Amino acid sequence: MLQTLILRDFVIVDQLELDFAAGFTVLTGETGAGKSILLDALSLVLGERADSSQIREGCKRGEISAFFRLEPQLQPSLQNWLEEQGFPLEDNGESLILKRIIETNGRSRAFINGSVATLIQLRQAGDQLVDIHGQHAHQLLLKGGAQRDLLDHHAGLSALAKNVAEHFRLWNDSRRRLAQAENAGQDMQRERERLTWQLEELQALSPQEGEWLTIQSDHARLANAAKIISGCQAVIDGLSEVENSVASVLSKSSVEIQALSTHDSKLAEIGTTLEAAQIQIDEAVHSLTRYLQKIELDPERLEETEARMQALHGAARKFKVLTEQLPQLLIETEDGLATLAAAQNIDLLKKQVATAKADFMKLAQQLSQQRLSMAKQLGQEVTAAMQGLSMAGGQLQISLLPLAEGNAGGLEQIEFLVAAHPGATPRPLAKVASGGELARISLAISVITSQAAFTPTLIFDEVDAGIGGAVAETVGRLLRQLGESHQILCVTHLPQVAAQGNQHLKVSKAVSKTPDQEKTLSHVSPLNRTERVEEIARMLGGSTLTETTRRHARELLEQH
């Protein structure tokens, strides 16, 4: 669960360290106090895109850190992911720290447990820690794709649905290849003729891997053989054959030093060095002599090498590649012809289409069966929740509308049908639900689907907008009930919801004045019992508090 959120120089917050508890926590405050700032900050540290305008005015950067307490036995997939990504857990494997730094140049940096992370990694970790239900989440229910995704996520079918989408893509690809083969016969014939001619030339040339470098080296040696022979002989002569050669001079010098060393022992080391130099000269002369015994003038071999170089260079120029790339071009030409042959094998392509379709249909049918079972169950659960949300007698049905051939989403379209009143015929959600009804249905779905979610922290951002009275009481009860199995944070304007929180945080805004400037800063404070009475009284009666509103506030709190 989320333990602590730390903000520095973010929007209108200079410094804030906020601790959270388990259960149901409500956040309240007047409009514009900064409640959304907390959720924006949390969204950023969970991987949302940043904007330099979110840095507090006059500051160079903003920082957000979130500390989470994990129960590894309940989230093994998250623990495995962290180990695979190189982010070891701290504090005996139970602490996780996410951090985000935003800079004025528009850049941002992310960290997981102190190690640099990518935005994708931050988002992947965040998806397993917190689920945020925004105040406009109910609008997503009007989109068929969102309804399908919600059902699949609730039923634990996301992985299977992804597999179905991938097999539909494979089926589509095989159909595309078949259509291309059937429609592109003439073009493919011209390409086959070009590749066949190219292959014949390359096979006749038979370029070998690494041959160009070897033949260049051989040519340099053969073309300069006379120069090499005469040069090496001259070196041998200078080292050992002529009068006053290097070897004879070294020998005389060595004898002289040895004689002198009898008068001064310090010269013995120099004598040893001269003897070593003599040995090195002798070895060099010996090696050069052996080299000359093997090398010879070979004009025929030189002619053959030059002819081969011309042939390779001419082919490279013809096929517009580097000479050393000819062996790879030969392989690619062979592969290209093989691909064309396979592409023109209509019977084989038809078999591939049939196989890909069969694989897709098998998986898609499995997905349909499981969707059908879960659609009925989810519809019943949401219908039951609707009864306490001023929609008595209403019902939600989840319909699976068959598609002729299917698509990446499977063999059916998912459509939520609602009847808001007893006896009404269920119709598509967008056609029958008012804004208030849609918000209540969305809340019911959110609560029901979240009960089965493995995400430990759930945040509801004013999802109770548009409701009040007894319905608000029910909403608060549902969220408090959900807080028994999850950590719930809820931003609300409803006193009936706020009164049911296990913890209550108030967001306020104040003006800080100094001789040089005037700043507006946002603050968050945990409320005690007395302070909760005052805040809920404000929510009930506005800025002017009366004993009546205070009494009503105390009554709401005493009920819970």
What's residue 412's pLDDT?
93
Q: Which residues of 288-316 are buried (b: 16+ CB within 10 A; e: fewer)?
A: beeeeeeeeeeeeebeebeebbeebeebb
* Total count of domains within the chain: 2
Q: Is residue 39 predicted with pLDDT exceeding 90?
A: no
Q: Please tell me the chain's helix, strand, coil percentages from 3-state DSSP, rounded to the nearest 5.
A: 55, 20, 25
What's residue 90's pLDDT?
66
What's residue 498's pLDDT?
92
Can you tell me the mean pLDDT for 487-495?
A: 89
List residues bridging with 28 in a β-sheet: 506
- Average pLDDT taken over every residue of the chain: 84
Q: Which of 339, 337, 314, 335 is nearest to 326 (CA)?
A: 314
Query: Which residue has better confidence, 397 or 517?
Result: 397
Q: Is residue 452 predicted with pLDDT exceeding 70?
A: no
Asked if the structure places residue 535 within a domain, the reply is: yes
Asked if the structure places residue 461 within a domain, the reply is: yes
Instruction: Let me know if 458 is exposed, middle or buried by CB neighbors in 10 A (0-12, 13-18, 19+).
Output: buried
CA distance 35 to 82: 31
What's residue 433's pLDDT?
62
Q: Is residue 302 predicted with pLDDT exceeding 90?
A: no
**Shared domain check, 5 and 103:** yes
Can you tell me the mean pLDDT for 189-210?
A: 88
**Shared domain check, 96 and 83:** yes
CA distance 146 to 414: 9
> Residues 170, 174, 178, CA angle at the centre, nearest 5°?
170
Predicted confidence band of residue 408 (pLDDT cuts 50, 70, 90): very high
What's residue 464's pLDDT?
67
**Shared domain check, 521 and 482:** yes
What's residue 533's pLDDT?
92
* DSSP state letters, 213-238: HHHHHHHHHHHTHHHHHHHHHHHHII
Asked if the structure places residue 393 within a domain, the reply is: no
Q: Which of 37, 62, 42 is nearest to 52 (CA)?
A: 62
What's residue 106's pLDDT?
79
Predicted confidence band of residue 136 (pLDDT cuts 50, 70, 90): low
**Shared domain check, 46 and 76:** yes
Question: How far is CA 537 from its chain centroid?
Answer: 47
Residue 151's alpha-carbon distances to 145, 305, 385, 416, in angstroms, are 10, 73, 17, 10
What's residue 344's pLDDT?
65
**Shared domain check, 75 and 43:** yes
Hey, is 167 helix, strand or coil?
A: helix
What's residue 184's pLDDT?
60
Asked if the structure places residue 278 within a domain, the reply is: no
Residues contacting 307, CB < 8 A, separation 6+ = none
Can you tell me the mean pLDDT for 250-274?
A: 84
**Shared domain check, 501 and 553:** no
What's residue 400's pLDDT?
93
CA distance 131 to 489: 10
Q: Which domain holds residue 486?
A: 1-129+455-526
Asked if the structure places residue 321 within a domain, the reply is: no
Query: Which residue has better confidence, 522 or 324?
Result: 324
Query: Which residue has better confidence, 213 or 389?
Result: 213
What's residue 516's pLDDT?
65
Can you tell me the mean pLDDT for 284-293?
A: 84
**Shared domain check, 515 and 556:** no
Instruction: Let me know if 493 is exposed, middle or buried by CB neighbors in 10 A (0-12, 13-18, 19+).
Output: middle
Query: Which residue has better confidence, 139 or 310?
Result: 310
Residue 240's alpha-carbon distances to 226, 236, 275, 454, 496, in angstroms, are 21, 6, 15, 88, 110
| pTM as predicted | 0.59
Q: Which of 24-38, 74-88, 182-196, 408-422 has the highest mean pLDDT?
A: 408-422
Q: Which of 207, 187, 190, 188 is nearest to 321 (CA)?
A: 207
Can you tell me the mean pLDDT for 474-497?
A: 87
Longest dimension (CA), the chain: 128
Least confident of 85-94, 245-254, 504-513: 85-94
Q: Is residue 226 predicted with pLDDT exceeding 80?
A: no
Q: Is residue 101 predicted with pLDDT exceeding 80?
A: yes
Predicted confidence band of residue 353 (pLDDT cuts 50, 70, 90): very high
**Shared domain check, 104 and 25:** yes
Q: Which of 511, 538, 510, 505 is nearest to 524 (CA)?
A: 505
**Shared domain check, 534 and 460:** no
Predicted confidence band of residue 466 (pLDDT cuts 50, 70, 90): low
- Number of residues assigned to the chain: 560
What's residue 484's pLDDT?
86
Q: Is residue 442 predicted with pLDDT exceeding 70?
A: yes
Residue 527's alpha-carbon distances to 186, 494, 505, 531, 545, in angstroms, are 80, 16, 6, 5, 17
**Shared domain check, 27 and 106:** yes
Asked if the structure places residue 87 within a domain, the reply is: yes
Asked if the structure places residue 171 within a domain, the reply is: no
What's residue 504's pLDDT?
94
Can you tell me the mean pLDDT for 229-244?
A: 80
Query: Which residue has better confidence, 306 or 161?
Result: 161
Can you tell me the mean pLDDT for 44-49?
A: 88
pLDDT in tens, 359-401: 999 999 999 999 999 999 999 988 888 887 777 888 889 999 9
Q: Is residue 224 predicted with pLDDT exceeding 90?
A: no
**Shared domain check, 541 and 460:** no
What's residue 501's pLDDT?
92
CATH at residue 81: 3.40.50.300
Positive or negative, the CA dihedral 195, 196, 197, 201 is positive
Can you tell me the mean pLDDT for 216-232?
A: 80
Query: Which residue has better confidence, 246 or 165?
Result: 165
CA distance 42 to 38: 6
What's residue 364's pLDDT?
95
**Shared domain check, 544 and 522:** no
Asked if the structure places residue 406 within a domain, the reply is: no
Least confident of 343-347, 446-450, 514-518: 514-518
List residues bridging with 147 in a β-sheet: none
Can you tell me the mean pLDDT for 214-234?
A: 80
Residues contacting 197, CB < 8 A, separation 6+ = none
- Residue whose tokens read 């917190």: 130
Predicted confidence band of residue 168 (pLDDT cuts 50, 70, 90): very high
